[in-house]
Structures are given as C-alpha cells and as structure tokens.
Amino acid sequence: MKLPPTTCFPLLILDPPYVCREEREREREREREREREREREREREREREREREREREREREREREREREREREREREREREREREREREREREREREREREREQKITTCIGREAATLLSLPAYKSCRLVLACRDVDKLDLASLASVQQCYRDFIAHFGPSASLDVLVLNAGRAHFESRVAQLTADGFEVTLQTNFLGHVLLTELLLPHLRRAAQPRLVFLSSSLHDPDSRSRSSDVPTVATSSYRSGIQNTKPPPDVDLATLFSIQDKSPLSGRWIYQTSKLAGMLYLYALQRREAGQSPLRCCAISPGFIPQTNLFRNSSALVTRTVHEGGVIIARVCTDDALPLGREPSHDMEAELGCAPTQGAGYFVLNNASQVEAVWSSDRSYHAALAEELYTAALARCAPYL
C-alpha cells in the first residue's frame, strides 16, 4: 500500500513527546527557578530570622545592661547604707567619748583621788566622811546646806565625836565670767563656795577637831591666791600673770581683800571671774592663818594650805593650758600626805623685814605646802598679803558675822 505523500502521521505521533520534553524542560527550569526563588525566600526568611535573633540578642544585651545598672545602683545603695552605718558608728563613738568625758568629770577631781588614797594602809586607812555635793547633801554655796551637813554629822557620829582632819577641797572657778552671780544668801557664788561656806563648816566642826590628838585643817588653796607675789621656791608652780599687765578688759587688778565691798557685791555688777577666784583663795589663806594664830597654845590644831599645782585634767581648768602641770594623782598625793604625814614640815614664817614693812605676823605653825620636783611635800612661803595679820583678823571677824545665824 502506498501512502499519500502528505501523510506524516508517524511524526505527529513522535512530536508530542518531543514538545513535551521541551515543555517539561522549561517547566522544570521554571520549577527550579521557583525553587531557587523559594530558596532565596527561605534564605531571606532565615536572614530575617537571624536579624530578629540579633535584635533579640541586642534586647537581651540591653536587658543585661539594665540589670548591671540596677546592680550598680543596688551596690551604690549598699555603699550609702554602709556609709550611713559608719556615720552611725562614728556618732556612737562620739557618744561613748562624751560618756567617757562625763565619767571623767565625775572621777578626775583631786578630792576623789585623795579620798581613794586616804582609804589605803599607806595613808593610815582613814575612815572617811565624804560630804559630796548632791541635791540632798552639802552645797557650800548655801549656808543652810552647810548647817544641815553639820547636823547630819552630829546625828551620825554624836555630839562628842572627834575629827582628826577636815579637808576643805571643794571649789569652783569660772574665769570667763564677767558679771557677779549671787547665791540665795546674797553673796557672790565663788566667794561663798570657796571661802564663806568653808568658814562656816570649819567653825561648826572646830569643837570636834579640838578633841582629836593631832588635828589638821587642810585647805585647797592655789598659787593664784596672789599672782603678783613671786614664788620664793622654784618648786612652786608658777602661773603667768601677764594677762593683768597686758590689761585684759573687764578684769580688776591683782586680788586684795577689800572688806568694804567683798560681802556686798551686787548681782550682775561687772566682776572678773578670775579676780573673784583669786580673792576667794587669798581670803581662805588669811582665814587659815588667823585661825592658827587664835588656836596657838589652845589646841594642837595645825592649819595647812595646799597649792596642788596646775592640774588641767580636772573640771576646774579643763580648757586651760600651762607649761607646768601636775597630774590628778599628784594632787591626791599631796592632800593625802598633808592629812596623814607624821613628819609634815613646819610652815615658813614671814621674815622680819616683812613683819616690819607689811605688818605681817607669824602664822604660829600654819603651813603652805607644795609637792616639789622630788615628789616631796615642801613648805613654802605664801603671798605677802596672806601673812597680813590685821587684815586677816578683820576678815575673820567679818566672815564669822556673816555665818553667825548658822552657828
């Protein structure tokens, strides 16, 4: 059989697979392209994911930074707390320091040191009566309180008790004071505390002292009882007097006992605290010597004054400064020795020149004592004025007149 020439059926049959291959090839190519596109898309997606991851990482980093900042803040807060704690500790330390100062205020006066020593066998194990200041006990700035103290003594020991030693230790000094301050009794407070109160106590207890075998009256004086008088012993602590010479305002000249005005000082009138302290101590010396002259030949009483030296640790002169200083213990030692020493030296008496020139009179065995550089009790001269017999008698009489209502 002969086929028509236009017939090409077999080819048509053959062609579709060919076309199909082409098409499939393109299709695959497109598919691959899509695949690559998807791949790129996935890649972009991964990239975005990585970007988000980096962002999260940065966020975590910022969070860590914020946490570190909070930690630093907490650390600063802890540091501030530690600083506050240190400040509280410093405040507690300052409070303890103030407490120690208050303790010292109670414990550093030389009277307390002397009392401690006098209770020891080395100082005859004395039986002590401490008329310490208290709301219920002795206030030397009140004559009624002194009288009450004496009544308490009698009530406790009986009217016929004998007294071996009376120590007049208490004293006050307000050098910065510029106006007079009066007590309820109407006397200048330093004068009454350091002098008049002691006079009344001594006069009340005198009969009891006279009953003892070797009685002593011991008065805490001061080298300041006359800054003008040059010490005649190199061992007496010297105190500068240049403040007077250079003319400190509101101070009076060196002390003298002006009896016309001493007991009539007015409240709030101008008055140097230093002057009245010095005057009170000079008045005490004059009284002591006058009493000794009166007792001479009548009783074995010895009247002893002490200059303990400059002791800045006590309350009295806590804020002062001086080159020559003594310790509280040394102050206690000289009091205890003057109270109990059987070999206490005799006091110095005024020279014939002083008797002639100044009207001084022998003190009949009274003494003015210091602790010398060898730590021995030494009798030295007191100020020229302190030996003035007529002035002493006048003062004695005037002081007793003020005390009379309580005797």
Q: Judged by CB under 6 A, which stretch of 83-91, 154-162, 164-172, 376-384 contacts ligand NAP? A: 164-172
Per-residue x/- mask for ligand NAP, residues 362 to 381, rule CB under 6 A?
A: --------------------
Q: Does 285 engage in binding with ligand NAP (CB under 6 A)?
A: no
b/e for 242-253, b at 16 or more Cβ within 10 A?
Answer: eebeeeeeebbe
Binding residues for ligand NAP, rule CB under 6 A, total 22
DSSP character at residue 179: B
Q: Nearest approach, Cβ of 199 to ligand NAP (angstroms)?
A: 14
Number of neighbouring beta carbons within 10 Å of residue 268: 9
Q: Rounded to whole angstroms, how far apart are CA atoms 162 and 205?
A: 9
Binding to ligand NAP, residues 192-221 (CB under 6 A): 193, 220
The single residue among 163, 167, 171, 208 that binds ligand NAP, judged by CB under 6 A, is 171
Q: Does 183 engage in binding with ligand NAP (CB under 6 A)?
A: no
Binding to ligand NAP, residues 121-140 (CB under 6 A): 133, 138-140
Question: Which residues on neighbouring strands pair with residue 370, listed in sequence order?
Answer: 378
Q: Rounded to whole angstroms, how far apart are CA atoms 325 and 311?
A: 6
Q: Is 24 helix (H, G, I), strand (E, B) or coil?
A: helix
Report the residue number, 111 or 227, with the smaller CB distance to ligand NAP. Answer: 111
Q: Does 166 engage in binding with ligand NAP (CB under 6 A)?
A: no
The first and second tokens of residue 365, run together, are 């065995």
The first and second tokens of residue 205, run together, are 């207890």
CA dihedral 333, 339, 344, 348 (to 10 degrees): 90
Report the residue number, 193 or 340, with the smaller CB distance to ligand NAP. Answer: 193
The single residue among 201, 316, 361, 392 that binds ligand NAP, judged by CB under 6 A, is 316
Q: Is 404 helix (H, G, I), strand (E, B) or coil?
A: helix
Q: Does 174 engage in binding with ligand NAP (CB under 6 A)?
A: no
The first and second tokens of residue 301, run together, are 């009483």
Q: Rounded to whole angstroms, how far apart are CA atoms 26 and 39?
A: 19
Length, in residues, of the chain = 407
Report the residue number, 117 or 361, with the smaller CB distance to ligand NAP. Answer: 117
Report the residue number, 347 or 361, with the smaller CB distance to ligand NAP. Answer: 347
Whether 277 sits among the annotated catalytic residues: the reply is yes
Q: Does 115 engage in binding with ligand NAP (CB under 6 A)?
A: no
The single residue among 129, 161, 296, 317 that binds ligand NAP, judged by CB under 6 A, is 317
Q: Which of 286, 289, 292, 274 is nearest to 209 (CA)?
A: 292
The site for ligand NAP (CB under 6 A) is made up of 109-111, 133, 138-141, 169-172, 193, 220, 222, 308, 310-311, 314-317
Residues that are catalytic: 277
